[in-house]
Amino acid sequence: MASNSIRPRKNRQLGGFFRGLVSDPRAMGAVAPSGRSLGRLMARGCGSGACVVEVGPGTGALTRAILDKGVSESDLCLVERDERFVEILEARFPGARIVHGDAAALGEHLEDLAGRVDFVISSLPLLLFPDARKRSLLAAAFSLLADGGAFHQFTYGGICPVGRGTLESLRIKASCLGFAALNVPPAFVYRFQRT
């Protein structure tokens, strides 16, 4: 009986993901919802009491991994620009703060969290962004992060998705957290922190 009630929700999530992929593949940045191995890697360091902002959560595959690490829904903010995904997220995570808006305006959407966020978890396709947009997004994210906070980003490319010039101009450093070989497709995860 329980499996029957879960199946329609799962199908709705996958349907929403694939409709988004077909309508705007460059904005999606993913060819399939993130797998468990990628979720665990992206949520590394998160835990009970951590304030987490997720940008581009889609249907919530990584969101579930964050919550599995002990983060409370009340300490979680999801920023999603696709209205179809916002509806799915509202149904799946009713205790989370969900913002329908563009991640580039993080500072405006979440002004009350400035300097209080422990992690920003990003599923945005940074490799496809022009440098100016990357710089704007990272600057907005770091305006929210507390001292010692981290920005986590996955990429399917084998290189850091942010160039050295952008990193230096923002005074942040990048390190590779690991490789999710079992994800489809396999993905690298990078952590960005202030130098």
- Inform me whether the pLDDT recorded for 6 exceeds 50: no
Please report the domains of the chain, with CATH numbers, ordered by start residue: 2-194 (3.40.50.150)
As a whole number, mean pLDDT of residues 2-25 equals 48
Closest CA to 189 of 158, 167, 163: 158
Q: At 1, is the secondary structure helix, strand, or coil?
A: coil
Rounded Cα distance, 6 and 26, in Å: 30
Q: How far apart are CA 60 and CA 146, in angstroms?
A: 24
Task: Tell me how far apart the alpha carbons of residues 104 and 119 are, in angstroms, rounded to a whole number.
Answer: 16
Q: Which residue type is seen at 35?
A: G
Measured between its terminal Cα atoms, the distance across the chain in Å is 52
Q: pTM score > 0.75 for this model?
A: yes
Please tell me the predicted confidence (pLDDT) of residue 115.
Answer: 97
Counts for the chain of helices (H) and strands (E), in that order: 8, 7
Q: What is the pLDDT of residue 30?
A: 55
Residue 32 zone, left/alpha/beta (φ > 0; ψ -120 to 50; rest): beta
Mean pLDDT of 47-53: 98
pLDDT at 34: 82
DSSP conformational letter for 72: -
Q: Are strands 172-180 and 187-194 parallel, antiparallel or unpaired?
A: antiparallel
Q: Average of pLDDT values for 55-74?
A: 97
pLDDT digits (tens, 9 = 90+) for 74-114: 999 999 999 999 999 999 999 999 999 999 899 999 999 99
Question: What b/e sequence results for 157-172 when a residue is b if at least 16 CB atoms lie within 10 Å of its CB, and e otherwise?
Answer: eeebbbeeebbeebeb
Per-residue pLDDT tens digits for 127-176: 999 999 999 999 999 999 999 999 999 999 889 999 999 999 999 999 99
CA gyration radius, the chain: 16
Per 3-state DSSP, the chain is made up of helix, strand and coil in percentages (nearest 5) of 45, 25, 30
* Strand segments (E) across the chain: 52-55, 76-80, 97-100, 117-122, 145-155, 172-180, 187-194
Local structure of 155: helix, strand or coil: strand
pLDDT at residue 10 in the model:
52
